[in-house]
């Protein structure tokens, strides 16, 4: 279970997050939506303990990430949006490194590495240095490492960027199975189709403030209209740019240069 | 039919629109790239919002300390030498030549290493190679960047040397601007030479296989030192200990004034406008040597320009190909598997994981290896100098009365200095090198402080591993007494602890997570602060240790002074050592625990 209680965060006076309160029970797949700069990554970094909140607390299965960081961190798996990894380690080295940080036995790490590397189709590159991995391969390695210690809460930031369709499908299946087994998924994304397909509930945030919390049918009811999640999302997060003269592409998209 | 504009013109708004010659286009590209670099630096300064005055004060303070302290030190030495009527001034000329030769060699190495990482391995090159910019422009911009990174320290160090030379010899006012004018052509020579060597080497050997390159460089440097020593007559002199004569010292130092070396041209230019005797002032000589340096640097620049088309792209591609071939083995008996097993048996699993990661990263990172070459070169110079100093001990005692005592403490200070290079180059960047990948460790269920302590323990072992054998070797060469050897070993162990603590502490307080090249991290603000504080700590510690020994030389009066001030001396010495060891670690731990990512 994940509980965010009155969370706020400022950067030198700029409030990136204001009074965010959320409760996500065990087994729930929660999607966190919002335009760029809305405060999604800040929220995730507070949940994972990489940022300190100015106010409020984040509890992971009842453990405060600031007051009981070690207990709370044992329960979290995190997949960042930009997978910065140790470039001079191989994929297998990285799995062993993470396994040791979580105090796991070598055979257990070996078994999990084989399982996830095959599932995400990076087994062929297991012994290559990470610096030679493509963006998608790095992303897959992050997934494998996040599942390695069998977390109770999975925090995922923009998971599908860089993934090929087959790996994206594998990941979706993994996430569904994870929730079916009682795990909690907190997923932040711009890709509304993923939220539409997978989530039990969703939260929409703009300018650091939660605008909506509930299921997709509840969102439709609250806006009193039918339509895709994209339409509903755009309506809820509209900034009032309706004047065509303000649209830089009103006269059409930029033309390609003439052939040489 | 209308010809389409070149893509480069569309992408770079600075490129003029009408048809341009290749040279004009290259110039426009270089200027655009440099402007972007300038903007980055400008924005970085503008965005220092927090503690802006503290940054400013620290920067000014550091600069003043470095220039002021350096000027004071050089002035003290020069004034002492000028006071020695017959031997002093010519010895001073030779010493300046020798110091500038060491600077030149270090600059050459530094340029080689930084050009390699900046021009071939840097990720920015991947981006730039994809743009419609000529390789000549990319190389030129990167060469300039390398010069700035590898040479700014020399520019800072040369100021005190030049100023103190001018003051000690009562030079005219125009000496100072003329001396400053020499810096740029002098810096351009090792930079372009380094670039030429790098281009040839990388065209044959992939830039990422730098381990091989570093070992080759180390062997070449030792072989070169031996050949040069033989050529200059040093080897012969070292073999004939009985011929202890001042002229032989002058001959031994003559290498620094060899007319083939750019460092000698710089020395000659300086001495032409700041001669020991005012009657020897020779402005014509200055301009001759200035022209020699300028012509050589321009010629080498042109050679670089010729070599870029056939060699640069080839070398860069080779480095990329090699990267993909670098497949790690997971064999049962591979060295890393065995190290892992030992670490797992010795430490708790998370600590073993962190240690294993650091060792693998170090082994596989070319930039770390290139740094090792600098350290190795420094140690070779140091040990060679020790042999020389010991051979000429008796002769030097004629010039400097307490030479033997001074030499023992100089040796200790020099060992500590090498240790400080080690801590600045390898220890200080360790926390910064966690970089943007820190989320992995930051998310793990281990206290952050353990990461810091793990690095501290690893680095302390590394420092002791270098400093203790070096102290024993130097003590053996200098034939110090057993008692002094024990004191030196105790002192060096304490200094290892203090310098490691200082570097880890500053590394935690001023980390640079955006940079992944340790050489550039060490050359940054935090690295410079670390060097200055380390040097200050070494100076204070060695002076405090030397004080009783010097007083003892003074007979009964000295012994009386020691007895009288022992009650003050001991707590001050212990206090300084405790502060150097505990304070940086405490402050570093506090900052490290509060860092956000």
> Which residue of A72, A85, A86 to mutate against B (max B Cβ within 10 Å)?
A86
pLDDT recorded at residue A112: 93
Assess contact for B403 and B564: CB atoms under 8 A.
Answer: no
Confidence of residue B112 (pLDDT cuts 50, 70, 90): confident
Q: Quick one: pLDDT at residue B85?
A: 65
Which residues on chain A are in Cβ contact (under 8 Å) with B348? 103
Kindly list the domain boundaries of chain B, sorted by start residue: 59-323, 330-361, 402-597
Predicted pLDDT of residue B302:
93
**Closest-CA residue in chain B for A74?**
B445
**Distance, CA of B337 to CA of B340 (rounded, Å):** 5
Minimum Cα–Cα distance from B355: chain A residue: A97
Greater confidence (B388 vs B122) lies with B122
Q: Which of B98, B70, B319 is nearest to B213 (CA)?
A: B319
Averaged pLDDT for residues B343-367: 83
Q: What is the rounded CA–CA span in Å between residue B559 and residue B553?
A: 9
* Inter-chain residue contact B323 with A132, CB threshold 8 Å: yes
Q: pLDDT tens, B206-243?
A: 655 556 666 666 666 665 665 555 444 444 444 443 44
pLDDT tens digits along A111-163 = 999 999 998 888 988 888 888 888 888 988 999 999 998 999 999 888 777 78
Residues B448-471 pLDDT 10s? 888 899 889 988 998 898 888 888
CA distance A203 to chain B (A): 24
Nearest beta carbon to residue A101 from set B4, B50, B444: B444
B33-42, B135-144, B451-460, B579-588: least confident range? B33-42
A128 secondary structure, DSSP code: B
**CB pair distance less than 8 Å for A101 and B354:** yes
Look at residues B57, B66, B58, B38 and name the one whose alpha carbon lies nearest to residue B531: B66
The band of A259, judged by pLDDT with boundaries at 50, 70 and 90, is low
- Residue of A73, A85, A126 lying closest to B437 (CB–CB): A85
Q: Return d(Cα B194, Cα B199) in angstroms, integer.
A: 9
User: According to the model, what pLDDT value does residue B235 have?
Assistant: 41
Q: Which residues are registered as beta bridge partners of A186?
A: A30, A155
How far apart CA B513 and CA B516 sit, in angstroms, is 7
Cα–Cα distance measured from residue A189 to residue A79, given in angstroms and rounded to the nearest whole number: 12
Smallest Cβ–Cβ distance between B357 and the set A80, A89, A132 belongs to A89
Minimum mean pLDDT range among A32-36, A173-177, B374-378: B374-378
Measured distance CA(A33)–CA(A39) in Å, rounded: 10
Least confident of B303-307, B386-390, B493-497: B386-390
Please report the pLDDT score of residue A127 as a whole number.
86
Q: Which residue of A has its CA nearest to B325?
A: A128
> pLDDT of A200-235, one tens digit each?
898 988 888 888 888 888 877 777 676 677 777 777
CB contact under 8 A, B356 and A90: no
Q: What is the pLDDT of residue B239?
A: 42
Query: Pick from A71, A86, A129: which is nearest to B437 by CB?
Result: A86
H/E element holding B205? none
Rounded Cα distance, B527 and B507, in Å? 8
What pLDDT sits at residue B593? 84
Mean pLDDT confidence for B430-444: 81
**Per-residue DSSP letters for B382-438?**
HHHHHHHHHHTHHHHHHHSTTHHHHHHHHHHHHHHHHHHHHIIIIITHHHHTTGGGH
Task: Report how far residue A192's alpha carbon sits from residue A233's, in angstroms, rounded to the nearest whole number.
Answer: 8
B440 with A86: Cβ contact below 8 A: yes
Cα separation, A11 vs B407, in Å, equals 55
Chain B residues touching chain A at CB-CB below 8 Å: 2-5, 10, 49-50, 323-324, 326-330, 340, 344, 348-350, 352-354, 356-357, 360-361, 364-365, 435-437, 439-447, 516, 594, 596-597
Beta partners for residue A11, in sequence order: A14
Q: Is B453 exposed, middle or buried (0-12, 13-18, 19+ CB in 10 A)?
A: middle
Taking 60 as the threshold, does the pLDDT of residue B157 lie above it?
yes
Distance CA A62, CA A56 (A): 14
Q: Looking at the partner chain, which of A12, A126, A258 has a beta carbon nearest the beta carbon of B4?
A: A258
Chain B contact set for A71 (CB, 8 A) = 445
Alpha-carbon gap: A220 to the closest alpha carbon of chain B (Å): 37
One-character DSSP codes across B447-492 = -HHHHHHHHHHHHHHHHHHHHHHHHHHHHHHHT--HHHHHHHHHHH
Q: Which of A73, A86, A129 sits opposite B444 (nearest CB)?
A: A73
The residue in chain B having the minimum alpha-carbon distance to the alpha carbon of residue A142 is B440
Strand order through the sheet with A2-11? A14-24, A2-11, A55-60, A63-64
Are B562 and B481 within 8 A, CB to CB? no
Q: Are B138 and B126 in contact (CB under 8 A)?
A: no
d(CA B450, CA B445): 11
Measured in Å, how far apart are chain A's first and last C-alpha atoms?
60
A51/B439 Cβ within 8 A:
no
Rounded distance between C-alpha atoms, residue B418 and residue B18, angstroms: 57
What are A214's strand-pairing partners? Answer: A202
CB contact under 8 A, A86 and B357: yes
- A63 has which bridge partners? A60
Tell whether the model's pLDDT for residue B137 goes beyond 70. Answer: yes
pLDDT value for B299:
95
How many Å apart are CA B334 and CA B355, to the nearest integer?
A: 17
Residues contacting residue A142 through CB under 8 Å, at least 6 positions apart: A79, A80, A83, A85
Using a CB-CB distance cutoff of 8 angstroms, which residues of chain A are in contact with residue B444? 73, 98, 101-102
**Number of alpha carbons in the 13 Å side-chain half-sphere of residue B108:** 16
| Record: contact B440-A69, CB cut-off 8 A | no
Contact B596 A51 (CB under 8 A): yes
Q: Which of B472, B482, B465, B494 is nearest to B386 (CA)?
A: B472
The pLDDT score that the predictor gives to residue B208 is 56
Among B360, B440, B446, most A C-beta atoms within 10 A, so best to mutate, is: B440
Across residues B399-408, what is the average pLDDT? 65
Locate all alpha helices (DSSP H) within B169-312, ordered by sequence: 175-181, 183-204, 210-231, 234-239, 246-252, 262-273, 283-307
- Which chain B residue has its CA at the smallest distance from A145's CA? B440
- Residue to mutate among A48, A91, A101, A113, with most B CBs inside 10 A, is A101
Q: How many CA atoms lie within 13 A of B558 on its CB side?
A: 10
CB distance B352–A100 less than 8 Å? yes
What does residue B58 show for φ and ψ, rounded to 5 degrees? Answer: -65, -40
Query: Where residue B2 falls among pLDDT bands split at 50, 70, 90?
Result: very low
- Burial pattern B373-389, b for ≥16 Cβ within 10 A else e, equals bbebbbbebbebebebb
Q: Could you report the per-residue pLDDT of B309-338, keeping only the tens digit for each?
A: 888 888 888 777 655 554 555 556 677 788
Cα Rg, chain A, nearest whole Å? 20
pLDDT-derived band at B304, boundaries 50, 70, 90: very high
Please give the interface size between A and B, counted as residue pairs whose CB atoms are below 8 Å apart. 119
The kind and range of the H/E element at A3 are strand A2-11
The reply to whether residue B327 touches residue A128, judged by beta carbons under 8 angstroms, is: yes
Q: From the list B365, B435, B441, which residue is nearest A101 (CB)? A: B441
Residue B587 scores a pLDDT above 60: yes
- Closest by alpha carbon to A50, among B516, B351, B444? B444
* Per-residue confidence (pLDDT) for residue A28, from 0 to 100: 92
CA A38 to chain centre: 14
**Are residues A84 and B437, on separate chains, in Cβ contact within 8 Å?**
yes
**What residues of chain A lie within 8 A of the CB of B326, using their CB?**
128-129, 132
Task: Give the per-residue pLDDT at B231.
Answer: 47
pLDDT of res. B295: 96
The alpha carbon of residue B486 and the mean position of all alpha carbons in its chain are separated, in whole angstroms, by 30
SS3 A15: strand
CA B312-B314-B317 angle, 5° bins: 110
Higher-pLDDT residue of B362, A29: A29
Q: How far is A26 from chain B (nearest CA, A)?
A: 21
**Which residues in chain B have Cβ-Cβ distances shorter than 8 Å to A117?**
none
d(CA B262, CA B257): 9
Continuous H helices in A82-214: 91-101, 106-119, 135-148, 165-180, 192-198
Integer Cα distance of A100 and A39 in angstroms: 32
String of b and e for B247-277 (b: at least 16 CB within 10 Å)? ebbebbbbbbbeeebbbbbbbbbbbbbbbbe
What is the SS3 assignment for A52?
coil
Residue B255: per-residue pLDDT: 58
Mean of the per-residue pLDDT values of chain B: 77
Please tell me whether residue A9 adopts helix, strand or coil conformation. strand
- Local structure of A92: helix, strand or coil: helix
Domain ranges of chain A: 1-75+152-237, 84-150
Query: Smallest Cβ distance to A73: which of B10, B360, B443?
Result: B443
Minimal CA separation from B334 to chain A, in Å = 13
Using the predicted structure, report yes or no on whether residue B415 has a pLDDT greater than 90: no
Task: Please state, as a whole number, how many other Cβ atoms lie within 10 Å of the Cβ of residue B7.
Answer: 12
pLDDT above 70: residue B20: no
Average pLDDT, chain A: 84
pLDDT at B392 over 70: no
Average of per-residue pLDDT across B399-410: 67
CATH number for the segment(s) A1-75+152-237? 3.40.50.300
User: Token digits for B52?
Assistant: 């802006």
pLDDT score recorded for residue A258:
65
Cβ <8 Å between A96 and B340: yes
Nearest Cα to A148, choosing from A113, A178, A172, A175? A113
| Residue from the list B349, B361, B436 with its beta carbon closest to the beta carbon of A100 | B349
pLDDT at B1: 40
Across the strands, what pairs with A184?
A: A153
Q: Give CA–CA dist B367/A85, Å, rounded.
A: 18
Q: Is the ipTM beyond the 0.85 threshold?
A: no
Nearest to B146 by CA among B192, B180, B204: B192
Q: Between vectors from CA B70 to CA B389 and to CA B380, what angle results, nearest 5°?
A: 35
């Amino acid at each position: 279970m994940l509980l965010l209680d009155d969370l706020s965060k400022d950067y030198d006076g700029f409030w990136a997050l204001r009074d965010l309160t959320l409760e996500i029970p065990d087994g729930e797949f929660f999607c966190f939506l919002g335009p760029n700069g809305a405060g999604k990554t800040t929220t995730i970094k507070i949940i994972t303990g990489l940022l300190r909140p100015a106010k409020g607390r984040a509890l992971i299965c009842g453990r405060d990430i600031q007051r009981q960081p070690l207990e709370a961190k044992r329960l979290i798996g995190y997949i960042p949006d930009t997978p910065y990894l140790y470039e001079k380690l191989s994929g297998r080295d990285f799995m062993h490194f993470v396994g040791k940080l979580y105090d796991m036995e070598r055979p257990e790490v070996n078994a999990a590495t084989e399982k996830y590397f095959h599932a995400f189709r990076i087994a062929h590159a297991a012994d290559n240095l990470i610096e030679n991995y493509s963006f998608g391969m790095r992303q897959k390695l992050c997934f494998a490492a996040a599942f390695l210690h069998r977390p109770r809460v999975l925090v995922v930031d923009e998971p599908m960027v860089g993934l090929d369709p087959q790996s994206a499908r594998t990941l979706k299946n993994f996430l569904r199975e994870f929730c079916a087994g009682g795990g909690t998924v907190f997923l932040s994304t711009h890709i509304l189709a993923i939220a539409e397909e997978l989530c039990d509930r969703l939260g929409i945030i703009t300018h650091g403030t939660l605008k909506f919390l509930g299921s997709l049918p509840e969102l439709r009811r609250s806006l009193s209209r039918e339509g895709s999640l994209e339409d509903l999302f755009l309506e809820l997060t509209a900034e009032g740019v309706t004047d065509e003269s303000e649209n830089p592409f009103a006269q059409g998209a930029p033309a390609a240069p003439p052939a040489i | 039919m209308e010809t389409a504009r070149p893509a480069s013109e569309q992408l770079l708004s600075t490129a003029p629109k009408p048809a341009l010659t290749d040279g004009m286009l290259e110039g426009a590209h270089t200027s655009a790239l440099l402007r972007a670099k300038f903007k980055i630096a400008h924005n970085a300064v503008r965005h220092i919002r927090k503690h802006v005055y503290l940054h400013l004060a620290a920067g000014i303070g550091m600069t003043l300390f470095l220039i002021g302290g350096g000027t004071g030190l050089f002035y003290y030495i020069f004034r002492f030498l000028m006071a020695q009527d017959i031997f002093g001034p010519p010895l001073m000329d030779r010493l300046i030549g020798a110091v500038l030769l060491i600077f030149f060699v270090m600059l050459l190495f530094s340029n080689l290493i930084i050009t390699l990482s900046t021009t071939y391995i840097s990720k920015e090159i991947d981006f730039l190679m994809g743009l419609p910019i000529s390789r000549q422009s990319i190389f030129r911009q990167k060469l300039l960047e390398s010069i700035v990174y590898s040479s700014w320290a020399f520019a800072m160090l040369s100021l005190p040397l030049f100023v103190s030379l001018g003051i000690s010899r009562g030079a005219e006012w125009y000496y100072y601007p003329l001396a400053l004018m020499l810096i740029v052509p002098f810096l351009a020579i090792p930079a372009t030479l380094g670039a030429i060597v790098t281009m040839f080497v990388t065209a044959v050997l992939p830039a990422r296989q730098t381990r091989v390159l570093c070992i080759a460089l180390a062997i070449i440097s030792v072989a070169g030192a031996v050949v040069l020593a033989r050529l200059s007559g040093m080897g012969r002199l070292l073999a004939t200990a009985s011929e202890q004569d001042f002229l032989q010292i002058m001959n031994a130092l003559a290498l620094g004034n060899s007319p083939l070396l750019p460092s000698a041209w710089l020395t000659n230019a300086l001495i032409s406008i700041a001669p020991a005797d005012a009657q020897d002032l020779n402005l014509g000589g200055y301009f001759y040597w200035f022209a020699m340096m300028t012509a050589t640097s321009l010629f080498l620049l042109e050679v670089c320009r010729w070599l870029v088309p056939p060699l640069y792209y080839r070398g860069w591609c080779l480095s990329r190909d090699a990267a993909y071939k670098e497949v790690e083995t997971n064999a049962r008996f591979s060295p890393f598997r065995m190290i892992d097993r030992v670490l797992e048996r010795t430490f708790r699993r998370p600590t073993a994981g962190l240690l294993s990661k650091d060792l693998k990263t170090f082994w596989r990172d070319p930039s770390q290896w290139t740094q090792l070459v600098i350290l190795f070169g420094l140690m070779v110079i140091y040990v060679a100098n020790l042999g020389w100093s010991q051979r000429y001990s008796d002769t030097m005692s004629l010039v400097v009365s307490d030479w033997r005592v001074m030499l023992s403490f100089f040796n200790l200070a020099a060992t500590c200095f090498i240790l400080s290079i080690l801590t600045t180059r390898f220890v200080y960047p360790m926390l910064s090198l966690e970089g943007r990948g820190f989320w992995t460790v930051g998310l793990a269920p281990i206290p952050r402080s353990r990461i810091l302590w793990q690095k501290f323990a690893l680095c302390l072992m590394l420092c002791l591993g270098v400093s203790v054998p070096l102290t024993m070797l130097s003590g053996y060469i200098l034939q110090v007494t057993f008692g002094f050897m024990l004191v030196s070993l105790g002192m060096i162990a304490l200094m290892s602890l203090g310098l490691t603590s200082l570097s880890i502490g500053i590394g935690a307080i001023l980390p640079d997570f955006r940079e992944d090249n340790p050489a550039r991290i060490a050359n940054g603000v935090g690295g410079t602060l670390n060097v200055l504080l380390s040097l200050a700590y070494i100076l204070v510690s060695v002076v405090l240790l030397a004080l009783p020994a010097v007083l003892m030389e003074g007979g009964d009066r000295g012994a009386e002074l020691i007895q009288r001030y022992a009650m003050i001396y001991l707590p001050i010495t212990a206090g300084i050592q405790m502060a150097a060891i505990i304070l940086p670690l405490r402050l570093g731990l506090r900052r490290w625990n509060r860092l956000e990512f």
